[in-house]
Amino acid sequence: MCTRFFSSALLTTGCAIVLLSYLIYNRFSIKEMSPKPFENAEGGSVKLNSGYFMPIMGLGTYKLPEGAELGYCLDAALRVGYRLFDTAIKYGNEADIGMALESLLPIHNLKREDIFITSKIFPPKDNFAAEVEKGVGESLIKLKTSYIDLYLVHYPTYDVFSEEADQDPMNAERRKQTYLALQKIAQSGRIRSVGVSNFEEQHLAELEILNVPMPAVNQVEYHPHFIRKELHEACKKRGIVFSAFGSLGRMAPSLFQDEAVDKMATAMGCNKAQLLLAFAISQNIPVCPKSTKEERMRENFESYKFQLTDDKVKALEARDKPGTEGNYIRAYGWRVR
């Protein structure tokens, strides 16, 4: 009996040693074998070049109500299932979002690591590194968090509506120094992934020579009237996730009254907003629509259930307008030197 027990123990120990050796040999760890945060997010996720996963379904917070009303919006969003919240320094609502999430997460039985926060900073006009450090630091304090999941260079120059800023000869240096500063902060763990927004291919090309990781994300306006095919390909070539804002084109009549959009939505049994969001989601393009109403939030969130076939995607892509005619959002990265 003792001999059998001893042999069994040796066999068990031997198996454990073999398993441990296998794990070490393959450079795995128990932590790495576990599902990563957001890998199995409802609605899908994309893997960023930083190694982190990002939910495809996000809630945009630009021009959402302030204070307590914003809290009601986030409460509804968490109840619906949103786990990604997209904000920016420019939006002026980081503090309201931070306070709301601090109160709401325990109520929804969630922790900080259960949500994905995106914020953004415009390139400073001067004092680049110091201003970026200050901006990120203030974002962390206002959002009441020790890290931000994704931090974007909001625009390729310091002012979105200034022709003078568009043509400023210092723009390339501003972009470079802002991006490098964010990458340095990322090394400290206060930012998990660094990306950009409204960058054109020439702006992305500048970053390739910096000997630092390429952006994890490029967030741009995207819908059937503005598909940015060449920019999409430029991002794909560089391992950058092409991400969408303005998926509903600010409800532009020309987009919502497009005959192809109307017919396809009717045929698929969804509303037009859901179709426009599904157009991106079906291609693994993250979206961040905004709404203040829970019913509309739920409809938008459930857009991932309406998967478009390749033929349907191509049919909507054929509605693309020439040049920049389909630009419905006031963001004009292609004008920036």
Annotated binding-site members = 154
Compute the distance between CA of residue 139 and CA of residue 77 in angstroms, rounded to an integer. Answer: 21
58 sits in which H/E element: strand 58-60
Distance of CA 216 to the CA centre of its chain: 9
| Partner residues linked to 34 by β-bridges | none
Instruction: Average pLDDT across each block of 10 residues of the chain; the chain has 337 residues. List them in order.
Output: 40 40 34 64 97 98 94 98 98 97 98 98 96 98 98 97 94 97 97 98 96 97 98 98 97 96 97 98 98 97 97 98 95 96
Across 203-213, b (16+ Cβ under 10 Å) vs e yields bbebbeeeebb
- Residue 76 is predicted with a pLDDT of 98
Q: What tokens appear for 141 in the block?
A: 């304090």
Compute the distance between CA of residue 169 and CA of residue 48 in angstroms, rounded to an integer. Answer: 32
- Residue 37 is predicted with a pLDDT of 85
Compute the distance between CA of residue 268 and CA of residue 306 in angstroms, rounded to an integer. Answer: 7
* 223, 250 Cβ separation under 8 angstroms: no
- Residue 152 is predicted with a pLDDT of 98
Which residues are catalytically annotated?
91
- Residue 36 is predicted with a pLDDT of 76
Helix/strand/coil for 252: coil
- Residue 156 is predicted with a pLDDT of 98
Q: What tokens appear for 65 in the block?
A: 């109500």
Annotated binding-site members for substrate = 154
Handedness of CA 263, 265, 268, 271 (dihedral sign): negative
- Residue 10 is predicted with a pLDDT of 38
Distance of CA 214 to the CA centre of its chain: 15
- Residue 4 is predicted with a pLDDT of 43
Per-residue DSSP letters for 198-251? S--HHHHHHHTTSSSPPPSEEEEE-BTTB--HHHHHHHHHTTPEEEEE-TTGGG
Handedness of CA 229, 230, 234, 235 (dihedral sign): negative
